[in-house]
Amino acid sequence: MTALKNEYQLKYKKQDPVVIDLLKGKVPPQAIDVEMAVLGAMMIDSKGCDECLLILKTADVFYDEKHKVIFEAISELYDSGSGVDILTVSQRLKTMGKLEVAGGDYYIISLSQKISSSAHIEFHSRILLQFYIKRRVILESSKLLSIAYDDDKDSLELLQQMSEVVDDISEISFSGRKSNTYAQMLDIIEKRIEFLTHQSEEELTGVHTGYKKLNLQTSGYQPGELIVVAARPGMGKTAYVLKTVIENAKKGDAIGFISLEMSAYQLVSRTVAIDTNFHLSQITKKGFEKAEYFTTFSKHKHRMKNYPILIDDSASSDVRDIIATARSWKRKEDIKLLIIDYLQLAGDSSKSGNREQEISSISRKMKLLAKELSIPVIVLSQLSRAVESRGSSRRPLLSDLRESGAIEQDADIVEFIYRADYYGYEVDPDIESIGANTEIIFAKYRGGAPFTAGICWVGDKTKFMDVEDYNLYQEEEETERVNKIQKNAPLPNMQPSDAFGNAKPTNWSIEDKTNTDDTPF
């Protein structure tokens, strides 16, 4: 009886889940002939090494073990500045103790005989890269399946690992530098000059800054630029960039906004206040005083629902997640601009040094992201307290960028927002003379000389405006105020006898019908 019981338990006991090997029964993606052609081209032409090693960064790109060893030997020779040919590769393999693993001298010679030139080595290298990416996808997917079958593994951790795998594999596809000849760049410059010569004030070569004065100075934020917008707390950094978001969204351009501070609800509330005449307090605190305001809001809501604005206000602040989100938005929605609010709240889990090194790493990755996606990336940043300690002037300087000088180094543009009235100072006469109350200081501008532009801060609406728009806004506000006073003014108290009080008596009668008054009848 005991024997039967043990046999039953052995047969029907709970089994561990079986993970199907994705490679079982199938040959992994590979191209052995192409591998041989690439290695042969590298050994017969030094130029082949230049092109190939920009694309192929690891020996794992090769499927055949012999080819991996040979590629390692070629890479070591290239890095050391030694010549690469059949003899030097053979000698290096002997030094490494891997000549036999590589197939011996006969196999190395046979590789060079399979190809006559390195004319197509870049094309062949990218073929190998494609097969390598496929093998990596298969391998990493198999690992993720094993984790998914493990009941002890957290599902959110699994999603995080999936995201990291996708990022790592995606980075492989960006291998290889894109270079242009000097002559090609001169042609590009000529076309840009022609465009700038004939463009109107409304035409921009880049993304709308949100402000007419800045557009004239910069022709918009250019693809690949890292723009840092910095100010002390309370200066209106978020309001400033939200105007940029709205102006581009009106044109139908998708904009990505990663908020590490405010919620999506707070951001959308601010966009409504900026793009309408409602006060922010009406939207977030008080509500509407009149029923007709709901009709007006409904019209604005219907219009603004078409704005292609993407907002991520998730709790994750790691730069890896920020980059993954931006890549996803670019791939799916083709965003034209990315905004991150704000830099000092971001983290980099890959860096274990001090905070300044971490910020430096984040700043550099944001610049590389802008180049990779070919869009402007605007990063908001806090300024240090050194601004507050200066007695004579509170205008920010590049040295005030908080926690890292690398921000200044990586940025193409550094903008400071300075409102003199915030500190109780008088507005600069040059700024006040054009009707502005806020200085936008381009402390660093790779596209030209640094400059300062004036715009207007409207405190009760919590938004920035161009001077021309602000003047029009004031006129409309004054007209509305006068109309409101007239509408609410009490009617004059008149007596019936006053109805014709201003009429003059006439000196004529029906009988003689003679008008003796000088007033024409």
What's the CA gap between 298 and 284, in Å, rounded? 16
CB 127: neighbour CB atoms within 10 A?
Answer: 15
The answer to whether 46 and 84 have CB atoms below 8 angstroms apart is yes
Provide CB contacts within 8 A for 405, sequence distance 6+.
399
What's the CA gap between 59 and 69, in Å, rounded? 8
What's the CA gap between 418 and 398, in Å, rounded? 13
174-204 burial code (b ≥16 CB/10 A, e <16): ebbeeeeeeeeeeeeeeeeeeeeeeeeeeeb
Catalytic, 171? Answer: no
Supply the DSSP symbol for 350: T
The answer to whether 462 and 273 have CB atoms below 8 angstroms apart is yes
What's the CA gap between 193 and 408, in Å, rounded? 28
What's the CA gap between 513 and 504, in Å, rounded? 17
CB 437: neighbour CB atoms within 10 A?
Answer: 21
Considering the candidates 76, 122, 261, 408, report the single residue annotated as catalytic: 261
Instruction: Return the closest-CA partner of residue 255 out of 206, 294, 307, 183.
Output: 307
What's the CA gap between 177 and 368, in Å, rounded? 13
Quick one: which H or E segment has residue 110?
Answer: helix 104-112
What's the CA gap between 203 and 278, in Å, rounded? 30
Tell me how long the chain is: 521
The answer to whether 459 and 235 have CB atoms below 8 angstroms apart is no
Single-letter code of the amino acid located at 240: Y
The answer to whether 245 and 474 have CB atoms below 8 angstroms apart is no
Strand, helix or coil for residue 503: coil
Tell me which residues are annotated as active site. Answer: 261
